[in-house]
Amino acid sequence: MIKSVESVTQVAGAVYNSEVKSVTAAITAQELDAQMPDASQLLSDEPEMESSLHYFQLMLLVACLELAWQDRQDFFIGANLTVYFSRQQLKNREFRGPDFFLVKNTERRHRNSWVVWEEDGKYPDLIIELLSPSTASVDRNLKRRLYAERFHTPEYFYFSPETGEFAGFRLQLDQYAPIEANERGWLWSEVLGLFLGIRDQQLRYFSIEGSLLPTPQEAIQTEVAKGLAEVKRERRRAAEAEREAKQERRRAAEAELALKALQAKLRSLGISLD
């Protein structure tokens, strides 16, 4: 198992330097592939998030989508995880990974990083960057071009947890075109089949009908609230049934008294009831 970026870099560099190229020029592609290390266990090489606001926002994006898609097994979510897209990039260590990315039509399992050449050449289908003062310019410009021209990622969004700056783009001929917001300021994601929009200064997911996709905690609170409401309804139904039963018993008692009074009246008139 490969333990670090440096170990893969050393092997990849050795294979690709000019001296080795001359030696391996006559070998087959299969033989060359056999000499290359397994990069699927490469560790991510990302710095910590900028602030607690960024960390919480990232966890919010991950948790809500994981919950909404809990029955699906055909996607992978990367959170502050390195995307290794070429051995040259691996060697130079010239790129930091997206804050959030989604890959569809892949196996839902744990990964230490996303290594494109170990994943059938798959790149992210959607990327979200969380802007900060130190990264905003790169996210708006250099990464935007990279994701469009190299990754060909269909959708790219960025959001600042600090200022609320929010924008989204859809790929058109290797260039990103802005996604038009609806009347609520939400942006539709064709990849997700959901809206992305700001609620309480946080970037959240919304269904096509406009419902907020909950966090696990919010979902539990909703279920608890539904349960309490149902208990209250059952108590009201039981109380109403008890009131109706009391009324029935009172009516029956009143009818019994009326019958006895009638019987007594008839006897007083000498009318036999036998």
pLDDT in tens, 55-65: 999 999 999 99
pTM, to two decimals: 0.72
Does residue 4 contact residue 75 with C-beta atoms inside 8 Å?
no
DSSP for 89-146 reads HHHHT--PPPSEEEEESS-----SSEEGGGTTT---SEEEEE--TTTHHHHHTHHHHH
pLDDT in tens, 66-102: 999 999 999 999 999 999 988 777 777 667 789 999 9
> Which H or E run contains 65?
helix 52-68
Confidence at residue 3, expressed as pLDDT on a 0 to 100 scale: 46
Q: Are 128 and 157 in contact, with CB atoms under 8 Å apart?
A: yes
Q: What is the pLDDT of residues 98-154, one digit of tens each?
A: 999 999 999 999 999 999 999 999 999 999 999 999 899 999 999 999 999 999 999
Give the mean pLDDT of 222-243.
72
What type of residue is 225? A
